[in-house]
């Protein structure tokens, strides 16, 4: 078996060469590729929208892993958390609230986090 290159042409690492996001260890080596397509050059936008919605419904209707009650699409968890934060405020730990209160007092702010 031939040796594979350590980096793809984008300069990104892959497989076991990618470092974790969960510990600060320097660059992760993760890269991004983005492509913009003008859908209407290929099909009517309404047709694409219908096809895409059907595809999303089929993903959501897929068999779930044991112990899983819902299938999330990319960005759904973040969107729901954003909506919750807009409605209920941003959740911070008591330790973080304490540190922010110290700063608020330092700058003589009338605000106080509870």
The pLDDT of residue 4 is 55
Q: What is the pLDDT of residue 65?
A: 92
Residue with tokens 């922010």: 100
Quote the tokens at residue 91: 């959740």
* CA torsion angle 45 47 53 56 (round to 10): -100
pLDDT at 10: 67
Nearest-angstrom CA–CA distance, 101 and 113: 6
Using DSSP, state whether 35 is helix, strand or coil.
Answer: coil
29 Cβ contact list (under 8 Å, min separation 6):
7, 12, 13, 17, 18, 19
Q: What is the pTM of this model?
A: 0.54
**Dihedral (Cα; 89, 95, 96, 97), 10-degree rounding:** 50
pLDDT at 39: 96
pLDDT of residue 20: 72
pLDDT tens-place values along the chain, 114 residues long:
455 555 445 678 777 777 776 777 777 778 777 889 999 999 999 999 999 999 999 999 999 999 999 999 999 999 999 999 999 998 899 999 999 999 999 999 999 998
Token pair, residue 10, equals 């984008």
Q: What is the pLDDT of residue 8?
A: 44
């Amino acid at each position: 078996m031939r040796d594979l290159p350590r980096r793809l042409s984008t300069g990104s690492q892959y497989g076991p060469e990618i470092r974790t996001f969960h510990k600060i260890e320097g660059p992760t080596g993760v890269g991004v590729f983005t492509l913009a397509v003008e859908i209407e050059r290929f099909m009517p936008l309404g047709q694409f929208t219908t096809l895409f919605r059907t595809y999303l419904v089929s993903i959501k209707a897929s068999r779930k892993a044991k112990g899983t009650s819902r299938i999330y699409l990319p960005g759904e968890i973040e969107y729901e958390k954003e909506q919750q934060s807009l409605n209920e405020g941003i959740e911070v730990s008591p330790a973080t609230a304490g540190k922010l209160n110290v700063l608020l007092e330092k700058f003589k702010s009338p605000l106080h986090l509870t």
